[in-house]
Structure 1
């Protein structure tokens, strides 16, 4: 037995998000848990015994994904953005403002902006690094640019 992925997502997405949030205490990381859990379900080839089996499997995968995120080196070694910003020499106040705006983006957008503009990776290289397809990287870049445009526009309008 395997239910349609869309139906499973609709039924369990809030519960999976709550599991991720309770373990990670970060909504962006919890959203990653949701996405990774349902991606694994969608690509899982074996059948399940029942709806209850699907539910318990999803919860187990979500917990394991959250724990994987929690164990990652970069998460354990995080430094506050203020401490990090104090170590960076900016040429202009606008450079600092742009960097802060990029860092305020959800992590799935800030990472593609950082890799593309600050590290000069191509879209293809970013896709390989993040294990995404190139179309997904392009969408994330586009959405990130739009969010930055809105954020920076608000800041500039406030200054006038």
Structure 2
């Protein structure tokens, strides 16, 4: 049995897992194209939501908070699905890295926090910092757990 090449197309591919090694069968340009296409769609969705629900620098940035928590929930669910069943080599790069990576916006999280501090709303900034980290971590856990339960119910649990 030949070993997979020791280069990584995607830095979070674990070469010790057969499912992850499958991503190496895709050409690097295809992986980058999938990530870019997903990223465009995710960023457009994020920008649309943020434009629809703007906030004042002293107010809590609910749109960005909701985007990051929802994106984290979906990332957790996606990882459970991908771990439970075989997928094409471009599914995780397109959906996980591209679409959901472009949708979640931790750079806007940092900018929103800095702006709140700059206008004297340090309490709001601190609450937003803490709520986003806790909310995103709980959401990724909940997405993973819910998807794993659903997959187990339908007989598609991880091998």
Superposition TM-score, scaled by structure 2 size: 0.32
Superposition TM-score, scaled by structure 1 size: 0.32
Q: Larger relative CO (CA 8 A, sep 6+): 1 or 2?
A: 2
